Each structure stands twice: as C-alpha cells, then as structure tokens.
Chains A and B, each alone.
Chain A
C-alpha cells in the first residue's frame, strides 16, 4: 500500500511516498533529509504535534502571554492539553521561557511562555 505524507518538519514541505506492507514500512521516496524519514516513522506509529496558544496575565501591559510546548505531544491529546492550559492565569511580570506547566499530561513536554509581559505601568 502506498501512503503519501507532507513532511511538516521544515518549510520545504517535502512530499514523501511511503510503501507499506501489512502496516510495516518497506521503502520511502521523496524526503530530502533524514528528518523526513523520522517524521514518517513517527506519523505511522504515534503522530505528534506542537501547539501554541496563550494564557491570561493579570496586571500586565498585555492581557495575554503566548505559550508553546517544548516537545510535540500525541495529536489526539491536543484538545486535552488546550483544556489544561486554559486553566492557567499568571501575574505580571512574566518572563519568556518560564515553565507554566511541567510535563503536560505526563509527557516529556513543558508549556513555556514565549513572550515577556511587563507590569502595566
């Protein structure tokens, strides 16, 4: 069976054709680098994605601080992760890089702040 993938690891977006026999990968064409191969192997067994969203900030010059995951988590847990992140509220000032949830849902992935928010002045 032939399965097609669009690699999302970098902006090249290579189209990868993977040949499967009884669900086992037998060959692959179209990837430009080894990361593409790793991506397809991951997609076949345990597709993972990163997410970016925001958390509320009290008393800040902005009402929100953006956050992201440090590592991708299983695709089907994304809405669970969103629900957990939605419960967070921070107090200004907030520094980029701060971990707001360690090991979200028990995965090797932290939720970190990506934009510093200063006190409302």
Chain B
C-alpha cells in the first residue's frame, strides 16, 4: 500500500489552505483527494464578490479566492487527484478511494478531514404536500445557474433566510425571475445583515420573519405554496394562511457538516455542531485525524475557513514529524447563550483561537471566558448575532489553573 504523510480529504478552501501550509512547514509527502473534476470546492459556484476581505484585504469572487490557493498548490507542486471520491477512512488511517483507475488505498500518518457540508433539504423539514418538481435547495439553484447555465425558475418563493438563499434571490432577480418573498420561521434572520441589505432590500424583495411554508401544491410541477405565520414556539397560527402562486420554492434552511466518513473512522461528533469534537490542534478523538472548515462547523466566511485550516496544518506538521502534541485535558463549557465552541478541549499551555456562535441576538454584550470563576479572556460585542461566527484569541498566560473553561455571554 502506498504511504503518505498526510492525506487531505476534500480540495475545497479548507483542504487547499491546509495543503499549502503543510508544504510551507516542510511536509511534502501530501496528497489531496477531491471528488469533483476541479479543485476549489463550493467556491466554484459562488460567483458573487465579498470573499477574501480578511485574508487578502480585497473583495474577490469565490472562484478568484479559490484560484489563489489552487495556483499556490500548483506552484508548490503539491500532489492532488481529482475525480477521486474517498469511500472509507479507517481508525488506523488507511484511506480507500474510488478513482477513474479503480479503487486506490493509502496508508497515511495523518488524515485531514475537509469534506465541507451539505444543505438541509425539505425531507429534513417535513413540509406536507405533494412532491412536485420545482423545489430546490439554494445551493442546487446556484450550481444550475452558475455552473451549468440553466435557469430553473420564473416565479420564486424562498424559505429560509440563509445567506445562500438571499444571494440566489439577487441572482435570480438579475436574470429576470421574480422573487416574491423570503420567509423565515425564526424571529430573526439566519443570514448576515449585509446580505439582507444588498440582496433583498436593494431589489425590493420582502423578508417575512416568523413565517413558514405549511403546504406545497402542484402535481408534476409546483404551482404554489401556502405560507403561515408562526407563534413563539414556531407552530403555525391557524387563520394566517396565505397562498402564493409560484413555479419554484427555494430552500435555504441551513447546512450540515458532511461527516459520514468521520463517523466510520471512529471520530466522535459534537451533537451541537454535527462536526467532530476537536482539541486546540484541530485533532479529533482519533489520534492523527484532524478536521477544519465546514466539515467541522459551518462557517459564513471562507476567510475564517482558510485560517482555521492553516492553524490545523501547523499542528498536523508537528504530528507527522513525530512531535507529541500537547495533551488537552481542559474542557470548554458553555452557558445557555452560547451554541457551541471550537475547539471543545484545550491544553491550557498554549494560546488558542476560540470560535463560537451565540444562540440568540444580544446587544451591547461581552463574551467572557472564565476559569474558577475568574475572567481570563473577553470580547466586547456591540451586537452578537447567531448568523455571525465570533472569534478571538485566549492567551495561555492569562489562565489561572488546570480547571475547565467556561464561556458565557453577559449583557
């Protein structure tokens, strides 16, 4: 069996950034395995601009952002294989993949999981009604329009205020479709305020909060949907039903990390992120298997994805050169305002980047990290939104003991 120091599963922005950083650290025996025909991941279909503001201080489109890393991979002659789908990763780090030449197997010292995420679908929502054509997830519409030159819609209703749905509302409008409205079941939008402004408000597309689609109509093709207002418990309120005639319903109702391979490898998942539980080295519960990007927790900004993957690569480079990574016995607990954190465990011996999401909107608050009740790090927020991932560094020299850390949000 062919041996590799590192196998990277998935050639999206996370996988590419990890590869380039490993190369910089002198790890050359790498291989990126990518299912699609091209490197770049989901960014290939995200043609709008706004990527790279943190990483490159300039607003790039998705393909341009990806190209910066792809060119770097090529320049460093980092080996990659496209049209190759990883089918299995064993806890012993044997990676099995299906390529054009048939099944291939590698024994890796370390495996980096960067498989990204997939979209939640109608099945996951359980909307009653027929199963007509014309119900798509936002990412599928994005692929149709931006990769395959197919216009799937004329009269559109969008369910869910995720960023991809809002971006597609604008894209469809520019291409001549009529987007009637976006409905969001929660009382607050799930996407970024700037997308509400530049994708919906700019084009006069209304956003209705606390509303959901309760019925789908049509036989072979969608003919309309019923929309109802919901109460605080998100239950439809009888008597508020309204009919919308449309040929297309687009779902932008969330992303789920793609972790089937990780589970088979014995990697423990966090029920909150639906990604792996990791320590400050981005190492999962299986030694030598690391994870970053959307497979770990859903990101809204690709810049954060690349930077997370680079931090992962720093640790993975140490690991494959035989250094022992510091033990991470300290857990990170959260209060009811915090949805989750990455990492979930730390050593207490090194500075680490803390990523988290809040569970509800809070204004003029502080995100506080405590140990033994004592404040060890904090970030002041004018406004904390579930739509925005919050990140800051926790410094090891501020830690006061070997106790667990507690993260809370205080107003």
Contact = CB atoms under 8 A, between A and B. Distances in A.
Interface string A63-107: 110111000000100110010000000000000100000000000
A54 interface: yes
A116 B146 contact: no
A49 B49 CA distance: 11
A11 B344 CA distance: 26
A119 B161 CA distance: 38
Nearest to A13: B193
Nearest to B44: A115
Interface string A38-72: 00000000000111111010000011101110000
B173 to A, nearest CB: 9
B301 interface: yes
A53 B148 contact: no
Contact of A82 (B60, B174, B202, B382): B174
Nearest to B67: A96
A61 to B, nearest CB: 8
Q: How large is the interface on B (under 10, 10 to 19, 20 to 34, 35 or more residues)?
A: 20 to 34
Given A8-B194, A11-B50, A52-B48, A96 B63 contact: yes
A76 B318 CA distance: 54
Contacts of B50: 11
A8 B197 contact: yes
A62 B147 contact: yes
B202 A75 contact: yes
Contact of A50 (B49, B67, B146): B49
A15 B193 contact: yes
Given A54-B149, A66-B61, A68-B61, A13 B192 contact: yes
Contact of A63 (B48, B60, B148, B174): B148
A25 B44 CA distance: 41
B53 A66 contact: no
Contacts of B61: 52, 66, 68, 114-115
A52 B49 contact: yes
B282 to A, nearest CB: 23
A37 to B, nearest CB: 16
Contacts of A67: 47
A116 to B, nearest CB: 7
Contacts of A79: 174
Contacts of A32: 382
Given A11-B300, A53-B47, A114-B47, A63 B149 contact: yes
A76 B146 CA distance: 24
A6 interface: yes
B353 interface: no
Interface string B127-163: 0000000000000000001111100000000000000
B149 A11 contact: no
Given A49-B198, A63-B149, A96-B63, A6 B47 contact: no
A79 to B, nearest CB: 8
Contacts of B196: 6
B174 A115 contact: no
Contacts of A111: none
Contacts of A18: none
Contacts of B175: 53, 82
Contact of A8 (B64, B67, B146, B198): B198
B388 interface: yes
A114 B194 CA distance: 22
A1 interface: no
A2 to B, nearest CB: 17
A62 B146 CA distance: 10
The 9 A-B pairs at the shortest CB distance, nearest first, are namely A13-B193, A66-B47, A115-B63, A13-B194, A6-B197, A114-B61, A63-B149, A8-B194, A52-B48
Given A14-B382, A115-B61, 14 more contacts: A6-B194, A6-B197, A8-B197, A10-B53, A11-B301, A13-B197, A30-B382, A63-B149, A64-B147, A64-B148, A64-B149, A66-B47, A66-B63, A96-B67
Interface of A: 6-8, 10-11, 13-15, 30, 32, 49-54, 56, 62-64, 66-68, 75, 78-79, 82, 96, 114-116
12 contacts: A6-B196, A8-B194, A8-B198, A10-B53, A11-B192, A52-B49, A54-B146, A56-B149, A96-B64, A96-B67, A114-B47, A114-B61
